[in-house]
């Protein structure tokens, strides 16, 4: 992040020692450490809130996608239901009567031959 070399750090430490003094240097470094910790905590909280917002935005987009898929599935189901209802309400087509050769005989089987000859009408 910061491009500070070792020589620059050494110069910075010497200047700090001169201006703060050897007695106050531990107190100064402790205070500096506390501020650095506070800054890290704030950065961590910000990152956590940012990640939560991103997850929430992602969940919202996924929720919208699922709702659109649900709506399309519901539309298809309703269309299929209407089609089935229309078929159920439609009158059944009348079937033509079977030919005489397929009329049930005395045994009740189609195509069976009756042993009784037909009556002659007078």
- Which DSSP string do the residues of the chain spell out, in sequence order? -----HHHHHHHHHHHHHHH-TTTHHHHHHHHHHHHHHHHHHHHHHHHHHHHHHHHHHHHHHHHHHHHHHHHHHHHHHHHHHHHHHHHHSPPPPPPPPPGGGSB-TTS-BTPPPSSPPPPP-
| 122 vs 8: which has the higher pLDDT | 8
Over the stretch 112-122, which tens digit does the pLDDT of each residue have?
555 666 666 65
Is residue 109 domain-resident? no
Mean pLDDT of 18-30: 89
Is residue 116 domain-resident? no
Mean pLDDT of 8-35: 90
- pLDDT band at 107; cut points 50, 70, 90: low
User: What pLDDT is recorded for position 87?
Assistant: 81
User: For all residues of the chain together, what is the average pLDDT?
Assistant: 82
Count of domains for the chain: 1
Is residue 26 domain-resident? yes
| Cα–Cα distance, 6 to 1 (Å, whole number) | 15
Residue 33 has pLDDT above 90, yes or no: yes
Is residue 80 domain-resident? yes
* Cβ atoms 111, 101 nearer than 8 A: yes
Domain that holds residue 19: 6-87
Q: What pTM, to 2 d.p., does this model score?
A: 0.43
Is residue 38 domain-resident? yes
Q: How long, in residues, is the chain?
A: 122
User: What pLDDT is recorded for position 57?
Assistant: 87
Is residue 102 domain-resident? no
Is residue 23 domain-resident? yes
């Amino acid at each position: 992040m910061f491009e500070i070399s070792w020589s620059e750090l050494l110069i910075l430490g010497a200047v700090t020692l001169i201006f703060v003094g050897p007695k106050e240097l531990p107190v100064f470094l402790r205070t500096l450490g506390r501020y650095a910790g506070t800054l890290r905590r704030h950065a961590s909280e910000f990152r956590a809130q940012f990640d939560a917002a991103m997850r929430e935005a992602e969940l919202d987009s996924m929720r919208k996608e699922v709702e659109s898929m649900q709506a399309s599935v519901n539309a298809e189901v309703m269309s299929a239901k209407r089609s089935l209802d229309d078929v159920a309400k439609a009158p059944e087509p009348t079937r033509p009567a079977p030919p005489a050769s397929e009329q049930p005989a005395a045994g009740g089987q189609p195509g069976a031959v009756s042993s009784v000859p037909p009556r002659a009408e007078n």
